[in-house]
Chains A and B, each alone.
Chain A
Amino acid sequence: MTTQETGTRKLTTANRTDEYSKLDKVDDRSGILYFLKRFPRESPLNVVALVIIIGFFFLTIFGPTLAPHDPITPDTENRFVGPSSQYWFGTDNLGRDVLSRVMTGARISLGVATLIISIAVVVGVSVGAIAGYIGGWVDEFIMRMTDIFLAFPWLILAMAIAAALGPSLQNTVIALAVVYWPWYARLVRGQVMAIKERDFVEAARSIGLRPSRILLKHILPNAWAPVIIQLTIDVGYAVLATAALSFIGLGAQPPSPEWGTMISGARTYFREAWWFITFPGIALSLTVIGFNLLGDGLRDYFDPRTRSR
């Protein structure tokens, strides 16, 4: 098959493979407007997820500006003031406003998590796509590399890397990105291996397109759905993992209001000041729940077997 009529339009060589790939797609749900219109209607939980995530991303951008008090400078005369009209979330052991620290901490926790997953996606998708498309010994080599990383419990591996590099937020990003990329490599490799056998890819190959163009223009755009679902869920886990490393002293260091650092510092005082540990804990939980709900919603949205209509 070298030509095909679509309405009154005659396909040219340049655009024909794009049209093939469109025809080969399971469903045309890629338009952002269509998504924004349909996704909330799929389930009330999707609305909850969007509200939570948009809320926290709002805090990520505007939190430090909107914080009612200085989140860093101690004010020991006001230590352990309970929640009140002046301090909605109370104050910590050094008299700092917990609300201001939670709001400011959103930028660190969410920003770091987003950065970790971005690095992991870029590296993992690139490596996985190459392995899946080229195959052979390249595939074998890359997959054995991922096996090495996946052989260790992810948190233990992240702790080991962070401990070796030294405690800091920067090293936390490196440690967690190293832990996360193999998952994306494996996921994308599988997708690419499946898609590269499809007709529209064969067609593109037969008309002499370069492999890189086939991969970037025709295969990867069709492999994104599971990656998006995975990364959405992983952002939540990355927030949690960042907090976990900070909790044990390997991540953000004082006076950073990163949520894990806050929880770590507050655990000694939870008997005297419940609010000190509770509010950053709630923020952390909400974020993880929000991203998990979003991930679940996206999976249902993109999966024709589970979609509601």
Chain B
Amino acid sequence: MQRRPVPLDRIWNDVNAHQLSRRDVLRKAMYLGISVPIITTLLSACDADDDDPVDDEDAEAAEPETDDEPDEEDDSVADDDDRNLSDDREFGIAFTGGIPDQDPQSAYDNQASSLFLATYEMLIRLDGDSTFEYQPMLAQEWEANDELTEFTFVIPDNAMFHDGTVCDADAVKQSFVRFHQMGRGPVSVITRFIDDPEEEIEVVDDVTVRFHTENPEPLFLPAIASAYGPFVVSPTAMEENATDDDPWAHEFFSQNMVGTGPYMVTEAEPQERFILDRFDDYHGDAPFFDRITARVVPEDPTRRSLLESGEINGVAVLPADDLDALEDDPNVQVVDYDSTQTNWIRINHALIEDPNAKLGFAYAFPYESVNNDVYLGRAYQQGPVADNLVGFDPSIELHETDLDRAQELLEEAGYGEGDTFTLMYAGGDAPAAATVELFQANLAQIGITLELEQVDRSAIIELNYSDTPPEDRPHFNLGGWWPDYNDSWNQLYPNFHSESAGSAGSNSMFYDNADFDAYLDQMRDAETEEELVEATGNAVQVLMWDDPGGIFYQQIVRSTCLSGNIRGFVGNGIYIAAYNFHEMWREAD
């Protein structure tokens, strides 16, 4: 098929054929001269549209960055002029349950933490999806000395608490003293580095505070950027509400948030909803959203329906089946991000003592079926330490499903057909329910009865963190964990070290192994990454094979679902199920 000549070709052909007069040539040249700049301008405009940060944000929301370096274009997004902003400045999210404790230095609860990230501030926070890059939060500048024993933070001189008092360096110190001395929940985030906060935290001037550590602490900055504990609370509110029985005013802070964050609480019904309104005296740039509403919606289908209808704009917890369905919804975006969360079934160390029995149960677990058929590939088999944590040792073998081997090991340990065990798990979590039922079915095949005990989430949390003796607890319970900061020690210590048993941590099944404890101490004191990896590998070898502390079955890929017009969200593997509210905005339709 002959190609149709374009005008330029035709001109050239006509000139060669002497069919054009000079006037014709000039006239056509003039047309060409006028049209080329117009076309060029139009093409430039199109190119400019392609570079529009709004579209970049689209891509970013759909596929989080993997580069640890901060994206320079993110900065341009902060400029309102470049964005097609919506007039709708309210953002609604749904929680799976209530938030009974609102004290940021006590609550060890990811949903509470996601609110704290709006109402309180740490000194610094993790940048984007990185776990070792930081951005300013309360502190605008920070530096460490070469030995990593002094960490200096400079806060702005206009920082205010929601109660109208000034946040200066002394307030920061008092807040950290409270965190350390009160000794609740995530306290190990600070006690690992600071022994005496009065001595080791120095107020240099009104806006400068310096932390001194005894040893070089390469993980101090990641810990200070944790969303569990190191928030700055108002010392004035603490003093006004302290009592003889409650010198740290925990009772007050458990029901009132008084921080320096860009949002302040204007309505709080801990079991129903929270309303956060923009704090006018916030020291930094005002966030896009004027109001954030967090509603408690325990049912998965209801959360999904509310998101689809646009009544809420963000959901951080939905089963894999719902996530798959929502990926086909053009009005919803499902943002997947790598997490540091691993899930496991804890084994009661007091009720099942024989390592062979523990290993036998590990062989009986249906790893492939759970990860592929229940989590639909949004999880993969992993040990107790996620593969993106510092210290992860890939050389440690994972368990496999082998019912014959399981039966053999259980029989060696004296267990056999007709024996009954109990497993407790929290209700309202459909994938968890399916997981334990599959485990139950596998055990039934080798004659072991597993009685499932579904209880309320609050009941299992209360049991886990209580001093109820292990003999009065079930044989197994279902759980999972991600660390406060990127560190394998921080992942294992609260859950399996003997000092963390009962109310002293999260070692709810009283795991106690001297070799494991020794390896954990080596992990804590490791001076190089190689040392940390080696010690972590040794600890995990004990925990999975020599004397199993649990059945470690998966690492999760987390997903946050957002309305289609929300921009700026970036998931972070440490700030799991949280929102970076201060960077998020809504695009106009």
Contacts and interface: CB of A to CB of B under 8 A. Distances in A.
A79 B430 contact: no
Interface residues of A, number: 22
A253 interface: yes
A216 interface: no
Contacts of B454: 167, 249, 253-254
A79 B320 CA distance: 14
B369 A254 contact: no
Contacts of A76: 369, 373-374, 438
B437 A249 contact: no
Chain B: number of interface residues, binned into ranges: 20 to 34
A255 B423 CA distance: 13
* Chain B binding surface SS class: helix
Interface stretch (B96-104, B296-304, B335-343): B296-304
A172 B373 CA distance: 32
A271 B325 CA distance: 9
A271 B318 CA distance: 13
B373 A167 contact: no
B453 A253 contact: yes
Nearest to B304: A271
Contacts of B456: 249
B455 interface: yes
A74 B438 CA distance: 7
A254 B433 contact: yes
Most B-side CB within 10 Å, residue of A74, A248, A272? A74
Nearest to A264: B427
A255 B455 contact: no
B452 interface: yes
Interface in A230-256: 248-249, 253-255
Interface string B428-463: 001001101110110010000001111110000000
Contacts of B444: 72-73
Contacts of A269: 321, 430
A93 interface: yes
A93 B430 contact: yes
A93 B435 CA distance: 11
Given A74-B438, A76-B438, A249-B456, A265 B373 contact: no
A255 B449 CA distance: 11
A268 interface: yes
Contacts of A74: 369, 437-438, 441
A271 B301 contact: yes
Nearest to B376: A79
Contact of A255 (B427, B437, B453): B437
Interface string B354-374: 000000000000000100011
Nearest to B459: A163
Contact of A254 (B299, B301, B321, B452): B452
A270 B441 contact: no
A167 B454 CA distance: 8
A38 interface: no
A74 B437 CA distance: 8
Given A255-B437, A255-B440, A255-B441, A268 B452 contact: no
The 9 closest A-B pairs by CB, nearest first: A76-B373, A268-B430, A249-B454, A249-B427, A268-B300, A253-B452, A74-B441, A254-B437, A254-B452
Given A74-B438, A254-B440, A271-B304, 10 more contacts: A73-B441, A74-B369, A74-B441, A94-B441, A253-B451, A254-B437, A255-B441, A267-B301, A270-B301, A271-B325
